[in-house]
C-alpha cells in the first residue's frame, strides 16, 4: 500500500530539460554586490505526465553588503513556482503554491578568530510546501558564535 507522506521515485526513460537562464551580477566598490538570476524550465517527458516536484521557474535576488571590514550582511529573496505534485496513494495531482522566501543574515567579526552571527529564514512567515506534505516552518532565526582555529 502506498503512503502519501513518503517519497516514491518515478523515472522517465527519455526525459530532457531545457533551461532558459538569465543572470545579472553587479558590484559597487567593495561594499555591495548583487547576484540576480531567473531560471525557466521546460520538461519533455515520454512516460510520465509531469516532472513531479520540479519547479517551472525560479528567481533569486542575492544582496551582499560589507559596510566595513568586520561586517557582512546578506539580504536574499528566492521565489519558485509551477511545482506539480502527484499523490501516489490517491492519484490526485496538484500544483503547489508559489514559494517566496526572504532570508537575512549578518556576521560580525569580533577578532580575526572570533565572530558572532544571526540568520533569519522565511521572514515573510509564508506557509508553503516545497515538497508535498512537507510544510516549511514559519519564521526561523538562529544565531551563534564562530571560532577559527
Total residues found in the chain within this entry: 149
Q: In whole angstroms, give the CA distance from residue 53 to residue 111.
A: 44
Q: In whole angstroms, give the CA distance from residue 60 to residue 37.
A: 5
Query: Of the candidates 19, 20, 18, which has an alpha carbon nearest to the alpha carbon of residue 44?
Result: 18
Tens digits of per-residue pLDDT, 32-51? 999 999 999 999 999 999 99
Question: Could you give the percent of the chain with pLDDT greater than 90?
Answer: 82
Q: Of the given ranges (1-5, 52-56, 66-70, 83-87), which has the lowest mean pLDDT?
A: 1-5
pLDDT at 123 over 90: yes
Q: In whole angstroms, give the CA distance from residue 31 to residue 25.
A: 14
* Better-scored residue on pLDDT, 147 or 6: 147
Mean pLDDT for the chain overall: 94
Tens digits of per-residue pLDDT, 61-107? 999 999 999 999 999 999 999 999 988 888 889 999 999 999 999 99
**Dihedral sign, CA of 136, 78, 123, 35?**
positive
Is the Cβ–Cβ distance between 4 and 133 less than 8 Å? yes
Amino acid at each position: 500500500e502506498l503512503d502519501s507522506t513518503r517519497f516514491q521515485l518515478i523515472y522517465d526513460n527519455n526525459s530532457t530539460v531545457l533551461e532558459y537562464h538569465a543572470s545579472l551580477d553587479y558590484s559597487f566598490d567593495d561594499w555591495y554586490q548583487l547576484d540576480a538570476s531567473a531560471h525557466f524550465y521546460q520538461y519533455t517527458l515520454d512516460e510520465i505526465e509531469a516532472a513531479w516536484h520540479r519547479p517551472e521557474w525560479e528567481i533569486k535576488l542575492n544582496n551582499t553588503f560589507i559596510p566595513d571590514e568586520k561586517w557582512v550582511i546578506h539580504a536574499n529573496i528566492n521565489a519558485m513556482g509551477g511545482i506539480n505534485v502527484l499523490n501516489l496513494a490517491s492519484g490526485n495531482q496538484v500544483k503547489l503554491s508559489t514559494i517566496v522566501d526572504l532570508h537575512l543574515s549578518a556576521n560580525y567579526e569580533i577578532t580575526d578568530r572570533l565572530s558572532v552571527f544571526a540568520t533569519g529564514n522565511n521572514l515573510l512567515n509564508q506557509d508553503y510546501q516545497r515538497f508535498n506534505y512537507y510544510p516549511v516552518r514559519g519564521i526561523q532565526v538562529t544565531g551563534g558564535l564562530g571560532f577559527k582555529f
